[in-house]
Amino acid sequence: MGPRPEVVTLGECLASFVASDVGPFAEVTRFGRHVAGAEANVAVGLARLGHRAAFIGRVGADGFGTSIVRALRGEGVAVDWLRVDESAPTGTMFRERRALGPAEVVYARAGSAGSRLSPDDVDAAAAAGAFDDARWLHLTGITPALSASSRAAVDCALDHARRRGLTVSLDINLRRKLWSDAEARPVLAGLAARCDVVCGDIDEAAAVTGLEPRAPVEALLDGLRGLGPSVGVLKLGRSGAAALDRDGTTVSSPALAVEPLDPVGAGDAFCAGFIAASLEALPLTRRLEIAAACGASAVAAIGDQAGLPDRTELDRLLAGSTRDAIR
């Protein structure tokens, strides 16, 4: 094993089949295969930005699982605690690409290896030193929705992080195909109360806080902060992002102009940028700028991870170059 990770995350990694052509599932016949999974996307995003990240999870003993392990390892993510489960398959998902309206996503993840993540997996990683030099734990609201054992694994990871003084972030990532708002709200609110940074879009913030999506941004940020974290962050899409810190200061950042090719994965890229900038102790406004740039980069490529920028690409984006080509 190489240097111990700065950031630990855990969850389910899937094989993602993204439509090669724009159109509904009923008409699309060709798909490209990619690696997906919110927490794994964040780990890859951090690795590209020069931060050591580890991913705790399970994949099946199948070709999809092998491709995921190889891909994450190739990106520099520590996969020492990514277990190959001989008794369950790797989860898969299929995604449309739409020019108008939201794209449909179909999952085949019930009973998957990833959904069998358990506290034993987290404890084993901790015993092997996964948390020893870590500074940050990143969680999402997807993993606790997968199964009772996955939810317990998230709680276990939080326990390890809190005992060691790690900063903990939660991306709400509400997935209504996995659970209802009524089921999700108490679980996610309980997690938020134990985290330092909570991030979500307007719809997710409203669902967890009980506010209306039409509520002002300031009210939604207050609602997130009211759950217990030190910092609340709202991802505002084309309007950029806003955050409220422990001092009661609200800051915002505009989005980069981009014509999205594939909107999925933008939130994970945003989180990777925000965490990287936080580890570098940058001001909150700069953290939002970097996070927004990473999100914009992600939607400009097809697949969850293809558009995640490295440091050179991020610097170019932040410089705001108007040239069509670098010659």
> What is the C-alpha separation between 218 and 119, in angstroms, rounded?
37
Q: How far apart (Å, rounded) are the C-alpha atoms in residues 179 and 69?
A: 28
Which residues are known catalytic residues?
268
Q: In which region does residue 189 sit, left (phi positive, over 0), alpha (psi from -120 to 50) or beta (all else)?
A: alpha
Strand partners, 32: 18
Q: How many residues does the chain have?
A: 327
Q: Which of 155, 205, 203, 208 is nearest to 185 (CA)?
A: 208
Distance CA 307, CA 106 (A): 22
Q: In Å, how far are 306, 316, 322 from 326, measured between CA atoms? A: 20, 10, 10
For residue 274, give the amino acid letter: F
> Can you state the angle between helices 119-127 and 148-164, rounded to 10 degrees?
30
Q: Enumerate residues 6+ apart whose C-beta is below 8 A from 136.
A: 6, 7, 8, 166, 167, 168, 169, 275, 278, 279
Map 66-100 to HEC letters: HHHHHHHHHCCCECCCEEEECCCCCCEEEECECCC
The amino acid present at 178, given as its one-letter code, is: L
Instruction: Supply φ then ψ for residue 220, to 5 degrees.
Output: -65, -40
